[in-house]
Amino acid sequence: MSIKFNSSESEYPLKFYDIGLKWVQHKVYRPHGFRYYHWLQTDKGTGFIKIGQKIIKLSPHQGFLMRPYTPYSCYPDTDQIWITSFLTFEGTMIDSMASFLDLNEFQIYQDLDKNLENFIENNYKSFTTYDYLSSLEQSTLIYTFLMYLKRNAYINELDFSQSKIVNKIIEYIRLHYQEKISNEMLASLSGYSIPHTVRLFKAEVEVTPMEYLTRFRLRMAKTLVDFKPEISIDEIASLVGYSNISYFIQQYKKMFQTTPGQERHHVL
């Protein structure tokens, strides 16, 4: 049972925060989620992950990926030891990679192939050193890991959303989040009424389209706050679709428990 943390404050396209191998997983409760992208796989036993009202069973040969700040809890099955391996990561290009993976708030991966299932065990030692060259290698390894995720999804023909309408709305939001978006516009994409469109979306994603839009905008804003100090907070608000700076700061604090200015001061 091993775990390694990365204390480096340097920026990389992809950078791990921590990695765990053959970890005895106990109950975890994170009402505000985790700061990083989080991968968790079952090596032995069975566990459950609860997100909103959904309870997802995670058995051997299965893995789970979630975005930062997704509230969740996880716990082992009754009277069982739940052995897991995990990898958490961030980076300047991670949000674009998540879009490439078609990742919503979270996704379960079934029937992991050997490359994906054995990735952490095979590469664990490469994450135990923190010099510059090692960090570059680790960034490359995380990229390889993300490609394994994409390949596994393609081979198993995972449907990241059971509703084509939901996928269409999510794709529209990701492409046009900087613009003014209304429920009327999104309903026109579905061909249904606003109430029915909202119900379809919420049943699949557990939030309304407008709530999803807000979260997406704020995640984009956080990336700019953390990694683009040359862009002012006012400009960031405008870039992610907010015309009212006070409302933007209010929403940012509500999601991340800190203001953009405080976050930037902490990062710097």
Q: What is the pLDDT of residues 69-112, one digit of tens each?
A: 889 999 999 878 999 999 999 999 998 898 888 787 888 898 89
From start to end of 25-162, where are the E strands?
28-30, 37-44, 47-51, 54-58, 63-66, 72-76, 83-90, 106-109
How many residues are given for the chain? 268
Same fold, 2-155 and 164-267: no
Q: How confident is the model at residue 9 (pLDDT cuts 50, 70, 90)?
A: low
Q: Quote the pLDDT of residue 163.
A: 66
Tokens coding 236: 């960031």
Terminal C-alpha separation, the chain: 34
Tokens coding 195: 């109430």
- For residue 172, what are the contacts with CB-CB under 8 A and spacing of at least 6? 181, 186, 189
pLDDT at residue 15 is higher than 90: yes
From start to end of 45-203, where are the E strands?
47-51, 54-58, 63-66, 72-76, 83-90, 106-109
Mean pLDDT of 23-45: 93
With 0-12 / 13-18 / 19 or more C-beta atoms within 10 angstroms meaning exposed / middle / buried, residue 7 is: exposed
Tokens coding 241: 């679709």
Mean pLDDT of 176-190: 92
Q: Quote the pLDDT of residue 129.
A: 87
Q: Quote the pLDDT of residue 193.
A: 84
CB 10: neighbour CB atoms within 10 A?
9
Each domain of the chain, given as residue ranges in start order, spans 2-155, 164-267
CATH number of 2-155: 2.60.120.280
Sign of CA dihedral 231, 237, 238, 244: negative
Closest CA to 192 of 209, 216, 174: 209
Mean pLDDT of 51-68: 91
Average pLDDT of the chain to the nearest whole number: 89
Q: Quote the pLDDT of residue 184.
A: 92
Q: Quote the pLDDT of residue 80.
A: 81
Packing angle, helices 245-256 and 209-227, rounded to 10? 90
Question: Domain 164-267 belongs to what architecture?
Answer: Orthogonal Bundle (1.10)
Q: Quote the pLDDT of residue 102.
A: 78
Mean pLDDT of 184-211: 89
Q: Quote the pLDDT of residue 78.
A: 83
pLDDT at residue 162 is higher than 70: no
pLDDT at residue 235 is higher than 90: yes
d(CA 37, CA 196): 32
Strand partners, 40: 64, 86
Tokens coding 114: 């050997």
CA angle 52, 56, 61 (to 5 degrees): 150
Q: How confident is the model at residue 147 (pLDDT cuts 50, 70, 90)?
A: very high
Q: Quote the pLDDT of residue 146.
A: 96
* CA atoms lying within 13 Å on the CB side of residue 100: 12
Which range, 46-60, 71-85, 238-252, has the best average confidence (pLDDT)? 238-252
Q: Quote the pLDDT of residue 101.
A: 86
d(CA 38, CA 17): 10
Mean pLDDT of 45-63: 92
